Amino acid sequence: MSMSIGGSRVALAVPPRRTLLEALRYDLDLVGTKQGCDKGDCGACTVIVDGTAVLSCLTLALEADGKEVRTVETLAGAPHIDPLLDCFDSVGGGQCGFCTPGMLMTTTALLDKRPCPTRDEIKLAISGNLCRCTGYGRIVDAVELAAKIKRGEAKGGEGLPGMECSPPPLPSNTKGAREGKGG
Ligand code: FES
Ligand code: FES
């Protein structure tokens, strides 16, 4: 199978029952995607496949064959760090951070489809993502701020969006065979 991750086409051999979560974490070393409950209850494993947020623990790797997969690592891609990352940090949307990759991917998919979400829409979007630390309020604040920054209606603070960044280490694909950039 092959999939595109952060603009890189990655090919790998997987057994039929390998989940997308296992392929990302254990075949491609993309450990930003978290393995929480491993049964569809917590949302920590959320990634985006062809524009839709999915639970990678309930998705077979083969279901992503030929598709574009976005993991939390892709949010740090050049030329800009996604505002969501800095907003979660600056607003206090994460504490232990375990839920954060899933929250980031769920809300990335939301903001891609709805650039101007209401607080209720943000709450509904993250209703499948469990957080044991923050109480959710700061997470919703962070998503609201990121949405405003993306729309050009707010500026980030120190170290916030628009900062140039280095290309991320994506993906290492140590067991697969990399086919090169672009598609
Ligand atoms: S690890 Fe997939 S929903 Fe919990
Ligand atoms: S920040 Fe710890 S689980 Fe959400």
pLDDT, tens only, 18-73 = 999 999 999 999 999 999 999 999 999 999 999 999 999 999 999 999 999 999 99
CA 133 – ligand 2 centroid, Å = 4
Rounded to whole angstroms, the Cα distance separating 20 from 24 reads 6
pLDDT per residue over 66-123, tens digit each? 999 999 999 987 677 899 998 999 899 999 999 999 999 999 999 999 999 999 999 9
The binding-site residues of ligand 2, defined as CB within 6 angstroms of any ligand atom, are: 94-100, 131-134
In DSSP terms, 19 is beta-bridged to 60
List helix spans (H) across the chain. Answer: 20-22, 83-91, 100-113, 119-125, 137-150
In DSSP terms, 54 is beta-bridged to 47
| Among protein residues, the one whose CA lies closest to atom 3 of ligand 2 | 131
Q: How many CA atoms lie within 13 A of 17 on its CB side?
A: 0
Confirm if 4 and 65 have CB atoms less than 8 A apart: no
pLDDT per residue over 138-179, tens digit each? 999 999 999 999 998 888 655 554 444 444 556 655 454 444
